[in-house]
Amino acid sequence: MKSTVIHRAGDAAAGLARPTSLAGNVYDAIFAQLMSLQIPPGARITVDTLVRELNVSHTPIREALGRLEGEGLVLRAHLVGYRAAPQVSRARFDELYELRLMLEPEAAAKATARMDEAGLTALQQLAGVMAADDGADEQLRYSDFARRDAEFHDKILEIAGNGLVRDVLRMQHTHFHIFRLMYHRLVTAEALDEHEALLDAFRKGDPKRAREAMLVHIHNSRTRLLPAFA
């Protein structure tokens, strides 16, 4: 099977700029390719190709792929190597959203009652980062939004205080898989308004409103991504 060649905007000629955390930057580069579908679901990922394209050694590549494997975005088979995880099926998509609808609206209501200034500040900062236009290319902004969106929802679950519910949702890596379904600005632009509705409910200390805002957000998210199966 043909290997997937990895390109990152601005890095093709000079390799990857070496930041303070090389392993983290390598992870970000591969993660961005996966989220924007430049590495298609199911595609083979060869370490040697990544070494050449990113101009780094094998070690940070393998560290990044191991981390991505833990997040369910990369699969590794003995004597075969790495491959991008397949796209979620329609049945799995429906199950993920059914699970979210059962757990997250109640968690949002519960988080409202437990919300303190530190928690609200953390959520507002995450929302601000997602909304900011820092000049990065669209592919990198999309992948970063996916990560921050996962952190935003996980923070609400943390504040809600039910560790089992939080663990169940975190283990599904839901946000990474659903954001891989479509690479489109609409997925992020509309979500920002829905996040603000949640924040407004938290600021006002209104559990009923928070529950409804989360319910609307998850329903709308499902509607936005459903065309991926058309």
Expressed as residue numbers, the domain containing 172 is 90-229
**Low pLDDT (below 70) residues in the chain:** 1-20, 134-137, 183-187
pLDDT of residue 18: 44
pLDDT of residue 131: 86
Residues with Cβ within 8 Å of residue 190, at least 6 apart in sequence? 220, 224
pLDDT of residue 186: 63
One-letter identity of residue 11: D
Tokens linked to 155: 């923070």
- Shared-domain flag, residues 40 and 113: no
Q: CA-CA distance, 18 to 54, in Å (whole number)?
A: 10
DSSP annotation of 203 reads H
- Shared-domain flag, residues 137 and 188: yes
- Shared-domain flag, residues 31 and 46: yes
- Shared-domain flag, residues 110 and 37: no
Helix (H, G, I), strand (E, B) or coil at 3: strand
Radius of gyration of the chain (CA): 18
DSSP strands (E only) in the chain: 44-45, 74-77, 81-84
Report the side by side order of strands in the sheet with 44-45.
Answer: 44-45, 81-84, 74-77
14 domain residue, yes or no: no
